A = this chain, B = another copy of it.
Amino acid sequence: MTEMLSKADLEARLREIGRTRYHSNHPFQIMLQEGRLSKPQVQAWALNRYYYQSMIPVKDAHILARLGSVELRREWRERIIDHDGTETERGGIVKWIALAEGVGLDRDYVMSGKGILPATRFSVDAYVNFVRDRTLLEAIASSLTELFSPNVIGVRTKGMLEHYDFITPETLAYFDKRPVQAKRDSDFALTYCLENARRPEEQQAVIDALTFKCQVLWTQLDALHHAYVEPRHLPFDAWAPDAAQATKAA
């Protein structure tokens, strides 16, 4: 790309990436929301995604450390509060643990990080390192996947409640506030990127950062698919559906 895009054109490019590459298009995600996963497959999803959830405040703290103004930090710290919670309100991480417990996993096992796929760890760590090591603009742009989550959450929550008798609205409480939070956060991040990408190379860097983040999400589902959808290819030490330590006694 050599020419500067208008803000509207850059935004359109970003939304096109989401339309095609966001993990809502991934076969495993579609199976999840259409009720075509077994309970152990849903458990594997909840277990592995916990690692992603648990690292979100870490990546946001890397951004917080680099924002450089009181106003920007006050805006961005909301994300950390959302995920880590307050004295009176459960945060996203605690709600995800409840989700994992709700589908029958043992809380301590989930929090230990044992049994997650190595590819989950490598993908999530790639995200944290990207946010730490790239420019602030790229770090913020990599959060833009949230532009695409509000719609998807509705479809997924509805599908999961409809198709899985082991899932209740309480189990999915994590998702209740996410659409509003994600809209607020992604509106801010999008405005920031559109205003701060002032050269064609910076616009391309924003596009590439969002593409990278879509890869981070997609790769996690690829790994789940490879390990847990027949024919299963479980790597060593990965949680197996019959692993006694991982599931709560009935």
Q: Check: A154 CB closer than 8 A to any chain B CB.
A: no
Task: Map CB proximity to B onto A191-223 as digits: 1 under 8 Å, 0 otherwise.
Answer: 000000000000000000000001110110011
Q: How far is the CB of A113 from chain B (nearest CB, A)?
A: 13
Task: Map CB proximity to B onto A107-130 as digits: 1 under 8 Å, 0 otherwise.
Answer: 000000000001101110110010
Tell whether, in the assembled complex, residue B119 and residue A129 are in contact, meaning their CB atoms are under 8 Å apart.
Answer: no
List B contacts of A227 (CB < 8 A).
Answer: 222
CA distance A119 to B119 in the complex (A): 7
Tell whether, in the assembled complex, residue B218 and residue A235 are in contact, meaning their CB atoms are under 8 Å apart.
Answer: yes
Q: Check: A156 CB closer than 8 A to any chain B CB.
A: no
CA distance A20 to B235 in the complex (A): 12
Tell whether, in the assembled complex, residue A21 and residue B218 are in contact, meaning their CB atoms are under 8 Å apart.
Answer: no
* Contact A21 to B236, CB < 8 A, known contacts A118-B219, A119-B222, A218-B118: yes
List B contacts of A215 (CB < 8 A).
Answer: 118, 235-236
List B contacts of A226 (CB < 8 A).
Answer: 222-223, 225-226, 233
Q: How far is the CB of A120 from chain B (nearest CB, A)?
A: 10
* Contact A219 to B27, CB < 8 A, known contacts A225-B226, A225-B233, A236-B21: no
8 Å CB contact of A236 from B121, B218, B225, B233: B218
Q: How far is the CB of A149 from chain B (nearest CB, A)?
A: 19
Nearest B residue (CB) for A127: B122
CA distance A9 to B77 in the complex (A): 50
CA distance A227 to B215 in the complex (A): 14
CA distance A27 to B231 in the complex (A): 12
CA distance A119 to B27 in the complex (A): 17
Tell whether, in the assembled complex, residue B119 and residue A123 are in contact, meaning their CB atoms are under 8 Å apart.
Answer: yes
Interface residues of A, Cβ cutoff 8 Å to B: 20-21, 27, 118-119, 121-123, 125-126, 129, 214-216, 218-219, 222-223, 225-227, 233, 235-236
